[in-house]
Amino acid sequence: MNISALTIQQIREGLAQKRFSAIELTQEAFAFAKAENAKTNAYLTFSDDRALASAAIVDAKLAAGEDPGALAGVPVGVKDVIVTKGVRTTCGSKILETYVPPYNATAVERLEAAGGVIIGKTNCDEFAMGSSNENSAFGPVRNPVALDRVPGGSSGGSAAIVAQGTAVVSLGSDTGGSIRQPASFCGCVGVTPTYGRVSRYGLVAFASSLDHIGPFARNVSDAATLLRAIAGRDTRDATSAAHPVQDYAVSMQQPLKGLKVGIPKEYFNGLASDTGDNIHNGIETLRKQGVEVIDISMPHTDYAIEAYYIICTAEVSANLSRFDGVRYTRRSERSDSLINMYRRSRGEGFGAEAKRRIMLGAYVLSHGYYDAYYLKAQRVRSLITRDFAQAFEKVDAIIAPVSPFPAFKLGEKVDDPLQMYLSDIYTITGSLSGVPCMSVPCGATKDGLPVGMQILTKHFAEDTMFRIAHQYELNRI
């Protein structure tokens, strides 16, 4: 069997027709993933025993004539900021290098209840802070499309394993573009659902009002299947929504004629020419399917970067205060007093980017600066959210680029944080407003580097988003 080309539907058919068992598929997936991982460093931990146990449950249900679930036997990778009971969860940080959680995230529970087989935890920027996956304490991930280039961040490992073919689907997390940008750079589908659509219980917090869990896949249908399996209300997460989960498979089959999509002029400034050409080709593909294309304006887009980095650093400063060497984190061996234990454990455990954001967050929350920075950023966030609300009164979806440029070379931006932050300029607005958004492949540059097209819809309109993405995927130029 060719693991790197399998889809969820093909796995279901193979299991039903007894061409292979779930255990055989899992063993094949492990052999391939472990052989390929040296190229990309995309996995941090493999979970052999857990995966084989999950596969055995699937085989037992099939033998008994029971429904094994929508993800039966499907090899899945999980970003290492999502906790897994009994399997190391590092968040890409030295401070959690040996941490083994005592419980599962809700998304993990639901994934496995649907028959998914978790083969490992994927490398990521430390505590999900980064746009290139070069901030991991365990080394950078390499883009499987071009090994000298970054896969995007912070969910670069989860994108890389799907693009490389060592997992069929994966879970990532998105705070300011950390699913969509790696999906664009690696040439796969990446989905950031509506804030609250998927429970954050068990997701190690970066910025609590911005964090989402979402899927990566090689096609839109597989991404929709994975999202439907993990979505829905969770009583353990007060921010999860009770809004009904749609049947995305049904909505995806509907033609696009009659839909209206908006093209925000602010999102097309500063685009690399190859990237812009591919996005415009994508828009033309939609137009040929009967979609009405309307020019719109999102006037507060230019303020998004500043607002985002004030809000997210403030929240991370609060969230990461719990990692102090007292309980489950790494403790400095040079702890000769309580205060030095705090200082040295955090100083030795956190990397440069985490320290930078903690300090920035502490600054904007400090006395005398809260109103000047944090409160003002929240007001800008409200204006950006209003831009989206007004736009969706006119259109059903918004089409935009994901990144101003394709995957850049390893080391190219790592010493220039401001340039690195600007790579998220087109994804941050969707994150601030909490709307569902995704990246779908829409061609490549002259150098063969993938380009992603971003689709954004109103809150909880994932069905429309998947409908557009699926029909585009079937008909793209």
Are the beta carbons of 329 and 323 closer than 8 angstroms? Answer: yes
Is the pLDDT score of 184 beyond 60?
A: yes
Q: For residue 338, tell me if it sits in a domain.
A: no
Query: For residue 201, what pLDDT band results from cuts at 50, 70 and 90?
Result: very high
Q: For residue 204, tell me if it sits in a domain.
A: yes
Crossing angle for the helix pair 220-230 and 462-475, to the nearest 10 degrees: 160
Q: For residue 372, tell me if it sits in a domain.
A: no
Alpha helices by DSSP H, listed for 289-371, are: 304-319, 338-349, 352-364
**219, 269: one domain:** no
Q: For residue 346, tell me if it sits in a domain.
A: no
Question: What is the number of domains present in the chain?
Answer: 2
**148, 279: one domain:** no
pLDDT digits 0-9 by tens, 48-59 = 999 999 999 999
Q: Could you say which of 198, 232, 251 is where a domain stops?
A: 251
**463, 407: one domain:** yes
**290, 236: one domain:** no
**141, 168: one domain:** yes
Q: How confident is the model at residue 1, as a pLDDT?
A: 75
Q: Burial, 470: exposed, middle or buried (Cβ in 10 Å; 0-12, 13-18, 19+)?
A: buried
**86, 206: one domain:** yes
Closest CA to 196 of 152, 230, 166, 171: 230
**281, 238: one domain:** no
Is the pLDDT score of 353 beyond 90?
A: yes
Residue 241 sits in a domain whose CATH number is: 3.90.1300.10
Are the beta carbons of 165 and 32 closer than 8 angstroms? Answer: yes
Helix (H, G, I), strand (E, B) or coil at 59: helix
Is the pLDDT score of 160 beyond 90?
A: yes
**265, 225: one domain:** no
As a whole number, the mean pLDDT across the chain is 96
Closest CA to 350 of 332, 326, 362: 332
Q: Could you say which of 251, 269, 284 is where a domain stops?
A: 251
* The two structure tokens encoding residue 451: 């380009």
Mean predicted confidence (pLDDT) in 115-128 = 98
Q: How confident is the model at residue 378, as a pLDDT?
A: 97
End-to-end CA distance of the chain, in Å? 30
Q: How confident is the model at residue 344, as a pLDDT?
A: 92
Give the DSSP per-residue string, 140-207: PPPBTTBTTB---SSSHHHHHHHHHTSSSEEEEEESSSTTHHHHHHHTSEEEEPPTTSB--TTBPPSS
Q: For residue 313, tell me if it sits in a domain.
A: no
Q: For residue 357, tell me if it sits in a domain.
A: no
Q: How confident is the model at residue 396, as a pLDDT?
A: 98
Q: For residue 321, tell me if it sits in a domain.
A: no
What is the distance, to the nearest Å, from the Cα of residue 95 to the centroid of all Cα atoms in its chain? 22
Q: How confident is the model at residue 2, as a pLDDT?
A: 86
**75, 185: one domain:** yes
| Distance separating alpha carbons of residues 379 and 169, to the nearest angstrom | 37
pLDDT digits 0-9 by tens, 415-470 = 888 788 888 999 999 999 999 999 999 999 999 999 999 999 999 999 999 999 99
Q: For residue 331, tell me if it sits in a domain.
A: no
Q: Could you say which of 196, 229, 251 is where a domain stops?
A: 251
Mean predicted confidence (pLDDT) in 229-254 = 97
Catalytic residues: 79, 154, 178
pLDDT digits 0-9 by tens, 42-96 = 999 999 999 999 999 999 999 999 999 999 999 999 999 999 999 999 999 999 9
**275, 151: one domain:** no
Q: Tell me the CA distances in angstroms from 138 to 58, 94, 97, 98, 134, one per residue in order.
A: 33, 8, 9, 13, 9
Domain that holds residue 85: 3-251
| Distance separating alpha carbons of residues 270 and 290, to the nearest angstrom | 29
**241, 154: one domain:** yes
Is the pLDDT score of 214 beyond 90?
A: yes
pLDDT digits 0-9 by tens, 269-301 = 878 789 999 999 999 999 999 999 999 999 999
Are the beta carbons of 13 and 174 closer than 8 angstroms? Answer: no
Closest CA to 107 of 80, 72, 73, 83: 83
Q: Percentage of the chain with pLDDT > 70?
A: 100
For the ranges 207-221, 227-241, 332-346, the lowest mean pLDDT is seen at: 332-346
**184, 265: one domain:** no
Query: For residue 367, what pLDDT band results from cuts at 50, 70 and 90?
Result: confident
Q: How confident is the model at residue 477, as a pLDDT?
A: 57
Q: Tell me the CA distances in angstroms from 247 to 221, 226, 436, 461, one per residue in order.
A: 11, 12, 16, 11
Q: How confident is the model at residue 7, as a pLDDT?
A: 98
| Distance separating alpha carbons of residues 76 and 183, to the nearest angstrom | 16
| Distance separating alpha carbons of residues 85 and 90, to the nearest angstrom | 13
* The two structure tokens encoding residue 32: 């391939």
